[in-house]
Amino acid sequence: MAIISPTEQKKSMKPQDFRSFFFKLKNLTEKFIVKRIFGLPTLHCNFSTILIPPSLIKYRPDHCSKTYKLRRTKNKIANVRIKGAVLSGDWDLKIINFSYDMNYIAFKQRFIQGEDWRDTLYYDHFMERKAKRKKMRGDPDSFRKFEKHYLQHWDKLFLDIKKNGYKSQLELGKVCNDKEVEVGVSRDGEILLLGGRHRVSIAHILGIEKIPVVVNVWHKQYIDWVKHQLNTERVTPEQAIKPIFNRSLCEIRKP
């Protein structure tokens, strides 16, 4: 029987093997931090990526309701993601219709109506912030620079998704799913957008059937209802999202 040395074994590992190992290690570390340091319970396989129709993403939390930072922790441990955490409280009550989102409106102006970026809400927003001396992304001193260094990226992404389809982070060669669209699920089973407004806007405009997302936060009331329905204490993101797909939420929404 041939014995493979550690060096040969390392050489024989494929890039996807390294990505898979790193992904699992990173997510297990984050799960430990979320549970032990911040005291939040998580779902089983909490870091799973799930596919959902973009049409189900209709709302996002209001910025004023940041009693808890839903996307990342405020801890000094950099870039620790909250994935699959179960959280009670009123973080899901104050929400805004996604159709009113500035990015979504500007993208429709650009990609449906064919407007120049200068004729979209981005220009008004840029000039308003400039008048108040507030910084924009990259701190450009002119809209032309803002368009060149920021908005043209969305032109390229829109054309790429239109031509090649919407791809997950792993399909794009990333080592983990940290950069996927991030959502939360409210007590009523409403999917709330937490991060990735530009990609969701593109998915809406192009009529993409399903996109990969990571559910950062589930409301405890909703998860308790799912556990009761399934008669189990061990729930995965895939199991928890099914009632939303099956439109069986009328049960949880009963007064």
Q: Is the pTM of this model over 0.75?
A: yes
**What mean pLDDT is reported for the chain?**
79
- Other beta carbons within 10 angstroms of residue 171's beta carbon come to 11
When pLDDT is averaged across residues 4-16 and rounded to a whole number, the result is 50
Q: Phi/psi class of residue 200: alpha, beta or left (left: φ > 0; alpha: ψ in -120 to 50)?
A: alpha
HSE (CB half, 13 Å, CA atoms) of 140? 14
Query: How many angstroms separate the CA atoms of 244 and 188, rounded?
Result: 10
**DSSP H helices in the chain:** 6-12, 15-36, 102-111, 121-131, 143-146, 152-164, 197-206, 220-230, 237-245
User: Is pLDDT larger for residue 1 or for residue 217?
Assistant: 217
Query: How many angstroms separate the CA atoms of 99 and 103, rounded?
Result: 9
pLDDT tier at 227 (50, 70, 90 boundaries)?
Answer: very high
Query: How many angstroms separate the CA atoms of 158 and 137, rounded?
Result: 19
pLDDT over 50 at 148, yes or no = yes
pLDDT in tens, 21-70: 655 666 666 666 666 555 567 777 666 789 999 999 999 988 644 444 55
- Other beta carbons within 10 angstroms of residue 104's beta carbon come to 22
Taking CA atoms, 53 is separated from 69, 114, 207, 213, in Å, by 25, 25, 9, 10
CB of 87 closer than 8 Å to CB of 219: yes
